Amino acid sequence: MSLILFLLSCLAPIKNGELQTNSLVDVREIIMVCEDENIETCKIGASFARGTATRIKYDNKFYWLTAGHVCNSVGDVPNAYLVKRDVLLTIAGTGEKKEAKTVTYNLSKDLCVIEAEQGPARTLAIRNPNRKDYVYAIAYPSGVFDKEILPVYEGRWAGKLENKCLTSVPVAGGSSGAAVLNSRNEVVGVVSSVMKDFNHFSLIVCLDDVKDFLKFINSEK
């Protein structure tokens, strides 16, 4: 393969029209803290987390896939009688806002899925990329979100270290939960965290863990 053809193949995922804006959402976790059983005492405590989710299709069902800490960034809130968590979705491309209805998360695996309506969606890859393979993510770092923008970040697959996979895709706060995609636009992992002071070394929830999580959810229904 010539150098020109190689470069064109690397750019293919960005040029083939597969970057549907409405397959992405900006995710925010809001908590309501209540002093007692009277709902009128409830006030917004904080917006603890913000991230990105990608619509996927798995076993003929549609989900928004993101990181667990985006759906639940903290455990119990001290000195609160009751805490109500709301996960709010803003759909890219339209700016439509929705409140998530069914949210399932696993903080130990750092994964979360939210039931989604049918629409443009990604599928899971069959296998992990090889080391040095091209991968990319679409995310909203630092909460920078607008229905008209579509930030794309590119890197290489680096392999696996203990229970996480590694890439050189640069990420920052707000990028959490974004799907990492291979050159065929298939999901190979989910952005979990980044090395402090070096945002080109990102930690990814591995493909096998994503598959196991979705299998478990489907088996419970």
In the chain (221 residues long), the average pLDDT of successive 10-residue segments reads 38 46 72 72 70 91 92 66 73 83 89 91 94 91 74 91 90 86 94 80 94 89 60
- What pLDDT is recorded for position 17? 42
CA 204 to chain centre: 10
Q: Measure the CA–CA gap between 140 and 51, rounded to whole angstroms.
A: 7
Q: Beta partners for 82? A: 34
Q: What is the pLDDT at residue 197?
A: 74
Where does residue 147 rank: exposed (0-12), middle (13-18), buried (19+ CB within 10 A)? middle
Q: What is the pLDDT of residue 21?
A: 60
What structural domains and CATH numbers belong to the chain?
Answer: 21-121 (2.40.10.10), 134-207 (2.40.10.10)
Quote the distance between the C-alpha of residue 76 and its chain's center. 23
**Does this model's pTM top 0.85?**
no
Give the pLDDT of residue 48: 67
Q: What share of the chain is helix, strand, coil (3-state, %, to 5)?
A: 20, 40, 40
Angle at alpha carbon of residue 67, lines to 65 and 73, rounded to 5°:
135
Alpha helices in 81-186 (DSSP H): none
